[in-house]
Structure 1
């Protein structure tokens, strides 16, 4: 990454460290790959003024499926009651893709994440297929190896695979492994127990799709509804393999750190979420399926961490996590802007276990930042400027080096 050793100081109309109050015309000083100082206006003479813009921490997208990036517009989301129809479309799409096409789709999605200013990604991938693309890209990432197996035989194979992975865990300075037992309707309870126990022993993050649709709740509570028909049609209906409720996945199984509960659209705020557990809310995907209002505010009121993700291009228009925050702001204008900015930076970094390195602007942190153009307007709360829809290209620094357009495109090239 950056080989420069002399300090460089940048200023902007606003500097948002996330760990402290916004600084009007503040400065960020970078030395090599790290931030040396974040100071108020006048404390240091800047080397570069980026103008009418905000300097914010690098964006964090804790939930993606990069392999579905080729499905943009091909699998329109259904209403919430027909969610399994959309799942059939996703399964059908994946079955048509060759390994080469899947890798191309992954690189396409990665390039889009980089272009929007993402510097930390959580990607769920079958067989960990996105590892090579992410490990070689100018971003941090956690690649969640996905496990699926409701029948006892397939679950046993998946358990053997999980054990094998933990014997030779790949890791780079920018890329780590996680585990993802997919969802309550697709994972045998014994497989869930095995995968999460291995994750605990090896301190790996776990990501689970949980309480995503009303049909999932009906399946677990009464063994009926559209998910039963869906599983029967696939030939994988095994009633004795199911957990009893979404809450059981939290209170009985996933007591380790960190855990990511993806979507949680219909998860009541009553379960005791572990201290290092996180709800990952994907606002525009949630809206596309017409789900009931998300309980993110109730979780926050209970001091549960909530961060924002994009899900995939099979259900979302793009992979821009800042647009997710702007979408929430449009629907909840009374929700504090500083919390929203935290939800796409520090909260995501905490959820993925990277908060010591990134997620805020501060001395000693990695120099991961985004320059976001601002509208020509004044407002009492400067967060409103960052959260306003506004055109303009963003500039991204990762580990002290500016990403060029060519470098960002590397995510889409073999």
Structure 2
């Protein structure tokens, strides 16, 4: 059965927006787009702007039950990490169940905010049932930690197992996340890159996230050293000083796809490297988490000027007020008013899907793509559709199963 939808404004992410377009869907896939044409059985969406389902490139859903971010605004990043560890330890033996409930709640929140794809940083223990949400595609990127040399092979085993795991839910694919320079040695990074190439998996690594991280790499000193010493994990040979994020970018570059998460303090040499490897690498900016920690201005303008793919993520509710990806985009529009609105949309659709290795199914509205869309009610004869969309709230539509009156309700 072919379903037809006549859309007021269609943002395909493959070219300029199309006014008065008909989208044709069969089963769960788009089969065609007509720029004109009247079909008697087409659903009238003439007052709507439709774009690909939003893609949240980076989040940690296990914190989705939090009402407020952990700690206080402007606290140092290592202090916040301590709060995260304390929060996780508070669940004791109930950790797996509590995490599963939080993940399910988080996926629900994402869908309510128009998101159809999430790049989820997963931690063990992991209950697969938590991902049972067919309308949201999940890229489960297992967080791999590893500074303790005695546990290196155990960590490698966890990465390999996750890379080849056969998920029972069709909406889940795998990825890996060698966590960060202060928590994962270069051996962990290289093993994840090898698995990424072997199985075509996306990688994500927190990098150039804080000034404290840079101090640990460059000097081997500072709050992160004190934290690691307190945990019995600091070794001089791991952090001898003289290191830069650029070294990690070089090691990540051979991966099938690699995403630098945050990148708040990327310098010119690192940006030059990312430009060199832009075919497979991306930078994920989490705007409201960035603001929570009072970081310096994000270098996204310099990244975009060099043609580097910048995508957006909500991060988690441990550092952000909610999982509203569109609010992140609105924050960017306010913080960087010189970036055209049309340049922002790929950050939460086409480019984000590419960063997660899902460009064959998500990120654009085109023949063969999944029939998941995000919609905005903009009314008829709207003089500035993009501005109207930025002021609206998105909703997630599954065009493959049809739309209900609730989907189309505007009140």
Same fold (TM over 0.5): yes
Q: Which residue of 2 aligns with 1:35?
A: 30
Structure 1 position 221, deviation (Å): 0.5
Q: Which residue of 2 aligns with 1:340?
A: 344
Task: Identify which range, 88-97 or 156-165, moves more after superposition.
Answer: 156-165
Q: Distance in 1 between matches of 2:118 and 2:164?
A: 24
Q: Which residue of 1 aligns with 2:376?
A: 372
Structure 1 position 161, deviation (Å): 2.5
Structure 1 position 270, deviation (Å): 2.8
Give the secondary structure class of the aligned counterpart of 2:269: coil
TM-score (norm 2): 0.89
Q: Which residue of 1 aligns with 2:386?
A: 383
* Alpha-carbon contact 1:206-1:258 (below 8 Å) kept: yes
Q: Which residue of 2 aligns with 1:247?
A: 246
* Alpha-carbon contact 1:26-1:40 (below 8 Å) kept: yes
1:180 to 172, 177, 181: 177
User: Structure 1 residues 236 and 401, CA, compared in 2 at 3 Å: closer, same or farther?
Assistant: farther
* Alpha-carbon contact 2:9-2:46 (below 8 Å) kept: no
Q: Which residue of 1 aligns with 2:362?
A: 358
Structure 1 position 403, deviation (Å): 8.6
Structure 2: 5+ residue stretches without partners: none
Give the secondary structure class of the aligned counterpart of 1:198: helix
Q: Which residue of 2 aligns with 1:410?
A: none
* Alpha-carbon contact 2:142-2:162 (below 8 Å) kept: no
Q: Distance in 1 between matches of 2:334 and 2:380?
A: 19
Q: Distance in 2 between matches of 1:152 and 1:404?
A: 58
Give the secondary structure class of the aligned counterpart of 2:32: strand
Q: How does 1:181-330 map to 2 (within 5 A)?
A: 181-242=178-239, 244-271=243-270, 272-273=273-274, 274=277, 275-330=279-334
Q: Distance in 1 between matches of 2:405 and 2:118?
A: 19
* Alpha-carbon contact 1:23-1:41 (below 8 Å) kept: no
Q: Give the number of aligned pairs.
A: 397
Q: Distance in 1 between matches of 2:73 and 2:153?
A: 33
Structure 1 position 192, deviation (Å): 2.0
Structure 1 position 67, deviation (Å): 0.3
Structure 1 position 260, deviation (Å): 1.1
Q: Deviations over 1:282-340 (max 9, x none)?
A: 11111111111111121121111111110001111221212211111122222111111
Give the secondary structure class of the aligned counterpart of 2:173: strand
2:7 to 3, 8, 12: 12
Task: Identify which range, 260-269 or 46-55, moves more after superposition.
Answer: 46-55
Structure 1 position 164, deviation (Å): 4.0
* Alpha-carbon contact 2:258-2:355 (below 8 Å) kept: yes
Q: Deviations over 1:345-383 (max 9, x none)?
A: 111110011111111111222111122123788445x32
Structure 1: 5+ residue stretches without partners: 407-414
Q: Distance in 1 between matches of 2:64 and 2:153?
A: 30
Q: Distance in 2 between matches of 1:189 and 1:23?
A: 47
Q: Distance in 2 between matches of 1:175 and 1:399?
A: 19
TM-score (norm 1): 0.88
Q: Distance in 1 between matches of 2:50 and 2:41?
A: 14
CA RMSD of aligned residues (A): 2.5
* Alpha-carbon contact 2:53-2:374 (below 8 Å) kept: yes
2:153 aligned with 1:156: yes
Q: Which residue of 2 aligns with 1:411?
A: none
Give the secondary structure class of the aligned counterpart of 1:209: strand
